[in-house]
Structure formats: structure tokens, C-alpha cells
Chains A and B, each alone.
Chain A
């Protein structure tokens, strides 16, 4: 049963409005990078579960790095050690890494691109891939998270900021162009704001690089029943909506009808 009560082991602030939570999960819990869990707040005024992507899983400790984006995540940030959380998961499909894992050698560079809190699921992915290059975009130096952890896993870690206060000054996709333009790239994995996904998809399409994007959408049930989280996709020549929670959240970038997403 993918539904359980979990004890909070840690819930501490990592950066302004970013929190690092560790919870104890059943030892049968398994997950792949890109999957998420639903957190149930058990509050009559906040009815919907909060989907949070998995940042790490070590034995029976699940790590969630999340951003306060509204009332629900604000409430989560106030929870303390030893409090119980109702969790469903893992949910969603996760990144398809079965065909890769070559890292820098042979097939080409595997590139991770993350924006803000989007770095969290990529850190989980980084543990399952051979170290290569990760480019992380943040607003400014004070909002940089997890970069040191990618480094210590052996990843060449590039930080870019919107204001240039640290690292590369500009978009992550511009950084990718400058730094990897001449390098054969075998796959790109992206998680971040929608505009970043879109730019990364364009970058990958120009170079015919397979690109996997983790989509975000407001969700209801989280298990594929309520159809509240549509991803516009093109399949067999026709436009349909897939479910971000169940068919995704990871999609091949070239299957998404980007023009529909503002």
C-alpha cells in the first residue's frame, strides 16, 4: 500500500523559504528519481494534498526539499520533529534512465538543468547517474541550494544567477550553450520553472538531443483519477491531455505542445 504515516526526523530551513525535510518511511518504500509523494495536511481548510518531489532516499529515510509557495507548504514548514505526516507515494513515472548511465564517456555528456527548487529531484537523479555536468539556475547568491551536494557527488556543477551575484550571469540555457555547445550531449534532464523547461526543450531540439522534462501542474488526487493536472501532448498526430501526476511528471520534451503553455 502506497499510503502510510511517517515520522518527521528533520524539518529545517535551507535558504530563504526553502526547507529540508527528512521523514522515516516504511522499509519497503522504493522510488526512482522524478517521482513525488503527496503530503496530506489533514486540515479541513486545506483539502488538497501537496505534491512534493523526492530529493533523496537512503534506506528508510525519505528526503524532501521544498519551497514555501502558499498556505500548505507554509503549514508544512511549521511542522516539527517527531510529528506525523500522512503520505502517499511514490507517485508518477520518474525519469527514464534505463537507456543511459554512460556519463561523460562513450555516448556523450549527460546534462542536468535545474532551476530553483527544481534542483531537488535532480539531486536524486544525480545519485543514479554517472557524474557529468549539472547547471543550476537561481535568482541570486542567497537562493542557491544543493550545489555543494552535486559537487561532492563528483558532478561538474555550474551555478548561474539572474542577477549575476554568483556564478554565470544569465539563463541556464545560455550557460549550456556556452559550456557544452561543442560537446556531444547524449541526454538532458530538466526540472524548473515552465519557461526554463521550454527554453531547454528548444535548446535540445535544435541539437537533436533527447530531453526529459519534469512538468509541474496544480494537482487534485495525485493518482490519475480526477484529471485536474493536464499536460498538453501531441501523440499520433493528435492533441490530447495526459495526466501530469500519473503519465508524468516526466515527459519527453518533444511530446509536449509547448505553445499551449503560457
Chain B
């Protein structure tokens, strides 16, 4: 059975990876999951300088979903290169570094610092709903998607994945903007903008009021958007949003994704990434698939 996929020239041994922000830089999960088994590890968002993140509370549970408002807390790229990247490079897996910034210059700066590093790919986070600048304000406008992607692509030493937001009217338009700007792949969806009110406390569940919704509640949105994007562009798509099982992963691949990322499931089940891979292999076996790419072609 062939599980390997080619994303922007990099061969991933299988299409399963964690979604940025749910897996740290892998260190905490290494006790529960054999990192060598994963197709890639996608790191938490890394910025040029340390980011404090949002005040508590940062998380709230909803029906079959989770709202978060972390705000991309991270210790900055210098600490990442010192503490996290060497750890990840011990494993036989691809390293995809998620990068964030408050301005185009900050995105460029972090991409430049990482360009000579051992990171295999960069994922441009222009879709986080939990920060004031950068984040969603870049990802919700096709012109901005084009500008920031072009600028970072010019200066980045690695293939560039652009992570798209579902909080847009036309996902195809954003996907096309990224492709035209030179993106090597796209990943979607980031979290869906949501809100929860604690009626007993008569207060917003999250002090920033809004948060990013993830989990099985958003899977149908993700499947639809991956399908639409796959019809609009020719670059590979990493599909994510509510993948909890191998069958969910198969569905995302059939929607047009070439690889999948497991996010919120990591919180529900510490072994989720490896379990999704095992279940996907089982699904392929039981349904007569010999090559993972046969699933993607269905769409």
C-alpha cells in the first residue's frame, strides 16, 4: 500500500500531520505518539519576537466543538530555533513551521530567519481569528492574501503553504489568490469565528468575546471548502477541520485534499494523530485502495 504524498516537492511518508497550535512542537506528545510515524509535524505559530498571547480564559467547549482564543502565544523564532527545531529534527518526519506576523515585514522577517534552518516547509498563518493585526485581517481579503504571499514567497528558502480562513465569502477566490502569488500548497480550514455566552455568569465565555471554533462541529464546512478550493486551484491542499477518525480523513481526501491535519482531536485523545493514520490504513485496506492518491482523485 502506498501512503506517501508529494506536497510541493517534499515527499511525506503518509498524509497525516497535526494541525498547527494543537501539538506544540511535538515535545509534549512524543510520550504518547511515535513522531516518526507522522507524515509531518506542523508547529505552533512562530513569530519574529515573543508574543504574550491573550489573557484567560482562552478555551470554551461547545456542542461537538471547541472555541479557543490563545492569540498565538509563542517564545519567538530565536527560542524556536534553539529549543524546538533541534528536537523535531531527531525524528524521521517532515517539519512544517507555521509562521505568523503583525505586518508583511514581520512575516518576511521570520521567513528569512527560518530559510537557512532545517525546516522543510513554512505554513503562512494569515487566518488566525484571535489576533488584532496580521491573522484574519490578512486572510479575509484576496488582495492582501496575494500581497503577503508574494512577499514571503520571494524571501523564503522553503516551499510555502498558505493557510486559509473559512471566514470568507468565497474560499475559491482566496485559494486562487494564493496560487497566483506563488504558494506551493494551501491548507484549510483555520477555525471558524464563533462566540459563546455563559448565560449564568451573564458574560462572554471568552474575554475577547470571539474565538476560533474547531472540532467535529465544523467538519462539513471544511469538507465543502476543501472541495471548492480543489476545483479552483492545481496546487495541493492540506485539509483540516474536525478530523477525529481515519474515516474523517478519508472523507477529506475524497473532497480533494492531498494530505490531512488533525487538530482538536489531539485534545480529546492524546494518540489521535497515530490513531487517525491507523484507521485510515484500515479503511483503505477494507475498501480496496492501494494508493492514498486514489482517494484524492475521486473528487
Contact = CB atoms under 8 A, between A and B. Distances in A.
B36 interface: no
B65 A47 contact: yes
Interface magnitude class on chain B: 35 or more
Contacts of A239: 52
Contacts of A225: 22-24, 27-29, 44, 266
Contacts of B42: none
Contacts of B53: 227, 230, 241
B70 A226 contact: yes
Contacts of A224: 24, 28
Given A1-B31, A47-B268, A232 B24 contact: no
Given A220-B267, A221-B267, A223-B270, A230 B22 contact: no
Given A2-B31, A227-B44, A228-B59, A221 B269 contact: no
A220 B59 contact: yes
Interface of B: 21-24, 27-29, 31-32, 44, 52-61, 63-66, 68, 70, 73, 215-216, 244, 264, 266-271
A228 B72 CA distance: 10
Nearest to B53: A241
B270 A48 contact: no
A58 interface: no
13 contacts: A47-B66, A47-B264, A47-B267, A72-B61, A220-B59, A221-B267, A226-B266, A226-B267, A227-B58, A227-B73, A229-B56, A229-B58, A231-B56
A54 interface: no
A232 B268 CA distance: 25
A217 interface: yes
3 closest residue pairs by CB, A with B: A225-B24, A228-B59, A225-B28
Contact of A88 (B215, B266, B270): B270
A221 to B, nearest CB: 5
Interface of chain B, main secondary structure: loop
A227 B266 CA distance: 13
A228 B59 CA distance: 6
A246 B29 CA distance: 13
A45 interface: yes
B244 A44 contact: yes
Contacts of B215: 47
Nearest to A245: B28
A217 B57 contact: yes
Most interface-central of B27, B31, B61 (chain A CB within 10 A): B61
B30 to A, nearest CB: 10
A240 B24 contact: no
B268 A40 contact: yes
DSSP class of A's interface residues: helix, strand, loop or mixed? loop
Contacts of B23: 225
A226 B61 contact: no
B70 A228 contact: yes
Contacts of B58: 218, 227-230
Contacts of A229: 56, 58-59
A3 interface: yes
Interface in A230-256: 230-232, 239-241, 246
Contact of B61 (A1, A46, A223): A46
A192 B230 CA distance: 52
Contacts of A46: 61
A260 interface: yes
A45 B64 contact: yes
A2 B60 CA distance: 25
A49 interface: yes
Nearest to B60: A218
Given A47-B61, A47-B264, A220-B59, A226 B21 contact: yes
Nearest to B265: A47
Nearest to B25: A225
Nearest to B206: A218
Contacts of A172: none
A219 interface: yes
A230 B56 contact: yes
A246 B27 CA distance: 13
Given A47-B61, A225-B22, A225-B28, A220 B68 contact: yes
Interface string A40-74: 10001111110000000000000000000000100
A230 B59 contact: no
Nearest to A86: B269
Interface in A188-233: 217-221, 223-232
